[in-house]
Amino acid sequence: MEVHLIDGTYELFRHFYALPSARDSEDREVAAVRGVLGSILSMMQADETYIGVATDHVIESFRNRMWPGYKTGQGVDPELLSQFPLLEETLRALGVVVWAMEEYEADDALASAAFLA
């Protein structure tokens, strides 16, 4: 059995800064979502059946209370942040398991899923 666990936050950031801008009919930036979907769709075409994607709904987590210098969402481009809901909605429509993390981070969901797998 192969299980593919993907950090959707990392992938959105990576594609956001790697790809040229692309806008949909409502003038929303969608290039990063397109990039992530391209990767996921190629995995699905290769008959990978177990795919899970975790995203950070908020950049801050309980770790910010523990470590004052821990990462924050300060300075993150709003056009990047606005693509999270679109990515999650589209992945769910494709039948991909999505863990949208609010109190914990995507890494926490991925570690838990890896342990269970």
pLDDT of 26 over the 80 cut? yes
d(CA 26, CA 23): 8
Contact between residue 52 and residue 97 where contact means Cβ atoms under 8 Å apart? yes
Q: pTM, whole model, 2 decimals?
A: 0.87
69-78 pLDDT tens trace: 888 878 889 9
d(CA 41, CA 48): 10
- Confidence (pLDDT) at 90: 96
d(CA 107, CA 113): 10
- Confidence (pLDDT) at 33: 97
33-91 pLDDT tens trace: 999 999 999 999 887 779 999 999 877 778 888 988 888 878 889 999 999 999 999 99
Q: Which residue has the tokens 């699905």?
A: 44
1-24 pLDDT tens trace: 788 999 999 999 999 999 999 999
- Confidence (pLDDT) at 76: 87
- Confidence (pLDDT) at 52: 96
